[in-house]
Amino acid sequence: MKRNKLPKVPAPSAMHGPTFRSGAVACMAQMPVATLRIWEQRYRAVQPITAPSGHRLYSPADVQRVLLLRRLTEQGHAIGSIATLDSAQLQQVSLASEGKASGAGRGPARAMTPLRLLVVGPALAARLQRPAVARHLAHAVQRVAVFESLAEAARATAGTGADLLLWHAPELRPDVPPELQAAQQACHARQVAVVYRFAGSAATKALADAGAAVIREPADDEALGTWLASMEAGLSVRAVEPAPVAAPKSAQPPGALAPRRFDDATLTAIAGRSPTLACECPRHVAELLMQLSSFEAYSAGCINRSPADAELHAYLQQVAGASRALFESALERVARHEGLPLR
């Protein structure tokens, strides 16, 4: 039997937009990489290009197709029956499935409208305004409100009726914060999504089991835009009652964080300004600082199973804090050289 050859990598000038490896695509679709490979090889559901290194590379259009297929399989469609459909046909199947679901007791489906977004985390809110994120969305994001913390969102005096409550969490604990449920109820958000930097599997599983969409913060704006577009597509074709995040079994107080010289909002502004400069070092240093600060806080509150665990995590926190201080000094030097404001 003649085996089908994998598509060759086109010349760089012929490639449009970024590419993503299978691990990143599987993470965005919240599915195992092994399942994604079966979809490719057995069902030919998606056909990414193959790099000379052997890595499979997905275009933004490939990612959108995988996300749509994933949503349809969660609705009960067999992958074998929909794998060969083109994008227009898949959208028709999706709309038909949503129409049946809304007609079964949840009222009529609503027309496509702008995504009403409530963001907890000013740094992420600023990042969502970047063109590389916004161009993936069907409509401009309508930010209902931006809060500094979940506690502030939970104190909202009037319901906002947001479609999506998006929480930017530098680190996650292995429980569901009670403020997350309170914020969703106070803001009448239909869906909750969590974008995190550092977390263990227990933490992400607890949130997913509670009904929240969870994703590790993409370093690339294109990947963030693709993921947000998948959330928009899932929310904009139906009107449903909010599924409250399950109340936590227990809550642990967050660990005290060491003082930082630059907050995430400042660092995000520096990272977003870098493309206008010949040197991209400010962006790289700012992104490293956000990662180090998040890991420093994560290590401070990591679960300790023994005194040896506690000693190790304290050491990791000290190393992260010392590294952060060095990179903060480095950022000041780079900013002075490039003439960038840090305040």
pLDDT 10s digits, 311-332: 787 778 878 877 887 888 888 8
- Percent of the chain having pLDDT more than 70? 74
Phi and psi dihedrals of 177, rounded to 5?
-60, 135
Type and span of the H or E element at 170: strand 164-171
In a domain, 243, yes or no: no
In a domain, 252, yes or no: no
In a domain, 33, yes or no: yes
CATH number at residue 38: 1.10.1660.10
Confidence label for 110 from pLDDT (cuts 50, 70 and 90):
very low
Answer yes or no: do 157 and 215 share one domain. yes
In a domain, 257, yes or no: no
List, for residues 265-275, the tens digit of each pLDDT value: 778 777 776 55
Strand 191-198 and strand 164-171: pairing? parallel
Q: Mean pLDDT, the chain, as a whole number?
A: 75
* Placement of tokens 């490896």 in the chain: 21
Answer yes or no: do 85 and 195 share one domain. no
CATH number at residue 181: 3.40.50
Answer yes or no: do 333 and 282 share one domain. yes
In a domain, 259, yes or no: no
Answer yes or no: do 53 and 78 share one domain. yes
Strand 56-58 and strand 142-147: pairing? unpaired
For the segment 80-95, the average pLDDT, to the nearest whole number, is 82
Answer yes or no: do 95 and 122 share one domain. no
- Strand order, beta sheet including 56-58: 20-21, 56-58, 49-50
In a domain, 76, yes or no: yes
Answer yes or no: do 215 and 275 share one domain. no
- Please tell me whether the overall predicted TM-score, pTM, comes out greater than 0.85 for this model: no
Which is higher by pLDDT, 212 or 302?
A: 212
Cβ contact 236:138 at 8 Å: yes
Answer yes or no: do 183 and 149 share one domain. yes
The residue out of 62, 78, 103 marking a domain boundary is 103
Residue 37: which residues within 8 A CB-CB, separation 6 or more? 22
Which is higher by pLDDT, 244 or 143?
A: 143
In a domain, 316, yes or no: yes
Counted domains in the chain: 3
Range of the domain at 314: 264-338
In a domain, 253, yes or no: no
